[in-house]
């Protein structure tokens, strides 16, 4: 039975990761986008099971104790985590899973599921990233400077990723992400069972 591919996508803050992922999911609707658990309150319009699984702090800590998370972290007083259970279930069924996660989380995933395919989305240049962050108009100058500093720091982690995709245009970037996903499904280890099956009948 064919296993699914776990594709981990990280990217510089402000690089346009959600737009690229949305495009990828549109073109490959059978791909499962992993939904995180969080203890933070839902924002206006956010839906349980779509944007996040919204759970209580108690519930989240029980899941930690059960070792249920592939990775989790606490940011400004709230937990965020990825359930191993859901991902395993999908992969076992042969469904490809896309996980949007930052660099520390990706490191933990690599440790626990070494077969994961990891991808880092970069801007065409830091100059262009700065331009995009300003154009977005949602962040203060200070916040933008912070994001750029983070992007520079995270760029050093790229050596641990399997693939690098440049978000020059959303179409190009999505096309490359889809190619990486397709290629992962063609890897010899994933298809050798086809040969073994045939060899049995010789």
Cβ 183 to a second copy shortest distance, Å: 4
Query: Closest CB to a second copy among 57 and 191?
Result: 191
Residues 95 and 4: beta-carbon distance below 8 Å: yes
Q: Reduce the DSSP state of residue 24 to 3 states and report it.
A: helix
Query: Closest CB to a second copy among 41 and 159?
Result: 159
Other CB atoms closer than 10 Å to residue 139's CB: what's the count? 15
Other CB atoms closer than 10 Å to residue 48's CB: what's the count? 11
Cβ 153 to a second copy shortest distance, Å: 10
Residues 38 and 79: beta-carbon distance below 8 Å: yes
Query: Closest CB to a second copy among 69 and 163?
Result: 163
Query: Closest CB to a second copy among 93 and 153?
Result: 153
Query: Closest CB to a second copy among 89 and 162?
Result: 162
Q: Which residues in this chain contact a second copy in the complex, by CB under 8 A?
A: 119-120, 122, 125-126, 152, 155, 158-159, 161-166, 175-176, 178-180, 182-184, 186-188, 190-192, 194-195, 198-199, 201-202
Cβ 152 to a second copy shortest distance, Å: 6
Give the C-alpha separation, 178 to 134, whole Å: 29
Cβ 86 to a second copy shortest distance, Å: 26
Q: How many Cα atoms sit within 13 Å of 162 on the Cβ side?
A: 17
Give the C-alpha separation, 115 to 112, whole Å: 9
Cβ 104 to a second copy shortest distance, Å: 18
């Amino acid at each position: 039975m064919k296993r699914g591919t776990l594709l981990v996508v990280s990217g510089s803050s402000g690089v346009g990761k959600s737009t690229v992922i949305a495009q990828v999911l549109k073109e490959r609707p059978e791909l499962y986008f992993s939904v995180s658990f969080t203890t933070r309150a839902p924002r206006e319009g956010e839906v349980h099971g779509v944007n996040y699984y919204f759970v209580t702090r108690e519930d989240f800590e029980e899941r930690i104790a059960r070792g249920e998370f592939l990775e989790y972290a606490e940011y400004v007083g709230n937990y965020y985590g990825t359930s191993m259970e859901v991902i395993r279930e999908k992969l076992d069924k042969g469904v490809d899973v896309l996980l949007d996660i930052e660099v520390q989380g990706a490191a933990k995933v690599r440790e626990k599921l070494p077969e994961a395919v990891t991808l880092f989305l970069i801007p065409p240049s830091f100059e262009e990233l700065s331009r995009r962050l300003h154009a977005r108009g949602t962040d203060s100058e200070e916040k933008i400077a912070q994001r750029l500093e983070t992007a520079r720091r995270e760029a050093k982690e790229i050596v641990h990723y399997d693939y690098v995709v440049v978000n020059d245009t959303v179409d190009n970037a999505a096309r490359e992400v889809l190619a990486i996903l397709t290629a992962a499904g063609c890897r010899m280890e994933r298809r050798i069972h086809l040969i073994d099956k045939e060899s049995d009948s010789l």
